[in-house]
Structure 1
Amino acid sequence: MLTLPESGNRIEIGNNCMFSFGIQLRTEDGHAIYDITTKQLINKGGSCIIGNHVWVCCNVLFMKNTFLNDNSIAAAGALITKKFTETNVIVGGNPAKVIKTNINWDRKSAEQYAKDCEAQNLKGGHILE
């Protein structure tokens, strides 16, 4: 689901991303929330930006004013409520936080990735605990 952006807000998706199902990208709340005394709007919308080579797992919700940087993963069920500027991270939880750093991902299965690394004498074929 993509919400229609307010004026000036945008949804940006980088190159080579992978998406599962049940994902929502929201640039606004859908209804106004305002201060009773001043009548000022307190829930203004904002952009939702996903970098390059980002894997978004199932049932992830990106709220307004969010960013997930390159080579990262949004874990299943994550509620993204802020900007994650560090690259190569896994974010997850409600609200989402960085749960693992120094990662990258590949579209290959874990088994195929390990075989390919082993064939090339790379350390990536070993499972880290």
Structure 2
Amino acid sequence: MIGRNVTVYDSDFHSINNNTSDNYSSPIYIGNHVWIASNSTILKGVKLSDGCVVAANAVILNDIHEKQLVGNNIVQKVIKNNIEWKR
């Protein structure tokens, strides 16, 4: 389930310091039964495991494990483990 205004970036869209060897693109994996709440941003190379929830307004830089609720206010933070959500 994906909320409004969610942004998913699989690229930085440019190299850094003109370094052409930079890997500025990386796939994103979104598992089964994942909820990405409104206004969240998912960045390149992230894996959202089955059953996880991304809180509203979060910026996700790192993988989220199965059944985790993750949000952030400056730094990505696990809010709760072993969650179950229903639609």
Q: Is the TM value for this pair above 0.5?
A: yes
Q: What count of residue pairs does the alignment treat as equivalent? A: 86
The match for 1:88 is 67
TM-score where L is the length of structure 1: 0.61
The match for 1:31 is 14
8 Å CA contact 2:13–2:25 kept in 1: the answer is: no
CA distance in 1, matches of 2:85, 2:59: 20
**Backbone CA RMSD of aligned residues:** 1.6
TM-score where L is the length of structure 2: 0.87
2:58 is the counterpart of 1:78: yes
Moved more, 60-69 or 86-95: 86-95
Q: Tell me which structure has the larger Cα radius of gyration.
A: 1
Cα shift at 1:19: 1.0
The match for 2:44 is 64
Question: Deviation digits for residues 57-113 of structure 1, max 9, x if unmatched?
Answer: 0011000010111111000011111112x2111010044221100101001xxxxxx
CA distance in 1, matches of 2:79, 2:17: 34
Which residues in structure 2 correspond to 1:1-129 (within 5 Å)?
18-34=1-17, 39-42=19-22, 44-84=24-64, 86-93=65-72, 94-107=74-87
CA distance in 2, matches of 1:19, 1:88: 16
More helix by share: 1
CA distance in 2, matches of 1:28, 1:87: 24
Cα shift at 1:43: 5.0
CA distance in 2, matches of 1:47, 1:95: 22
Question: Deviation digits for residues 24-76 of structure 1, max 9, x if unmatched?
Answer: 111101222136xxx44445211111110001100110000101111110000
Aligned residues: percent identity?
A: 34
Higher relative contact order (CA 8 A, sep 6+): 2
